[in-house]
Amino acid sequence: MRILVLSDIHANYEALQAVLNDAGPVDEVWCLGDVVGYGPDPNECIETLRNLPNLICLMGNHDVAVLGQMPLSVFNGEARHALMWQTRSLTTESMAFLRSLPKTALVRGEVTLVHGSPRDPIWEYILNTLTARINLDYFDTPFCFVGHSHFQGIFQLDQERNRISMIVPRPGESLPMTPRAIFNPGSVGQPRDRDPRAAYAIYDPEAHTWEPRRAPYDIAAVQKRIRELGLPEKHAARLAEGW
């Protein structure tokens, strides 16, 4: 069984298409939130996502913001600019899709799914082993999948030594999954781990494997769209370097 796990598309349609083409046929799609924000094509991303087979999709903080359910003042100036533009640009159908998404953690088999963290599903970042350890108390399943940080990585508990380690996996390598662990597929639309390629993962719940993957895409085309729309230059520039 192949499950496509992705997160933080951020209105980057070129990157989303590259991921779907690279992943090939899958049985299910699990999206960990932030379909919108930053990028130039929110409606195209939502339309593509909502038509994928056996989709599970969570709400991320940018999705919450465009629905008016979070003050834009909590975002930096560039992110706020993009969110205001997207709020004006989203269609009625796109807004309805975003409103239908759950804000709370979901459990699917052995996995807890959240956008930010089990402790705070919308907003908290898991960026270090301390935060990862604290969050182990907030989910009961062997594994947890998170997004939000735009960083492709794994926080693994060594139960014998009672120690958590942070692992940066090699893309394309299928890894055996050992309880308990927190997995992040990285960001489709705006990676921040110095690899500009779109990030995602393939999860096989039967074989208990996790395969982090990267897909190249036409970054220049997305940068051109951002600039033509008058969106922040920072959101175009960072795509080329993955920061």
pLDDT at 53: 87
Check whether 209 has a pLDDT greater than 90: yes
Residue located via tokens 């399943």: 141
Q: Are the beta carbons of 69 and 101 closer than 8 angstroms?
A: no
pTM for this prediction:
0.97
Encode pLDDT of 126-182 as tens digits: 999 999 999 999 999 999 999 999 999 999 999 999 999 999 999 999 999 999 999
pLDDT at 197: 98
How far apart (Å, rounded) are the C-alpha atoms in residues 136 and 163? 12
Find the CATH number of the domain harbouring 92.
3.60.21.10
Encode pLDDT of 81-92 as tens digits: 999 999 999 999
Q: How many domains does the chain have?
A: 1
What domain range is 230 assigned to? 3-240
Encode pLDDT of 35-82 as tens digits: 999 999 999 999 999 999 899 999 999 999 999 999 999 999 999 999
Give CA torsion, residues 118, 157, 35, 8, to 10 deg. Answer: 140
How far apart (Å, rounded) are the C-alpha atoms in residues 214 and 203? 14
pLDDT at 194: 97
How far apart (Å, rounded) are the C-alpha atoms in residues 143 and 139? 8
How far apart (Å, rounded) are the C-alpha atoms in residues 211 and 213? 6
How far apart (Å, rounded) are the C-alpha atoms in residues 92 and 139? 35
Q: Are the beta carbons of 136 and 157 closer than 8 angstroms?
A: yes
pLDDT at 41: 98
Q: Tokens in use for 186? A: 């990285």
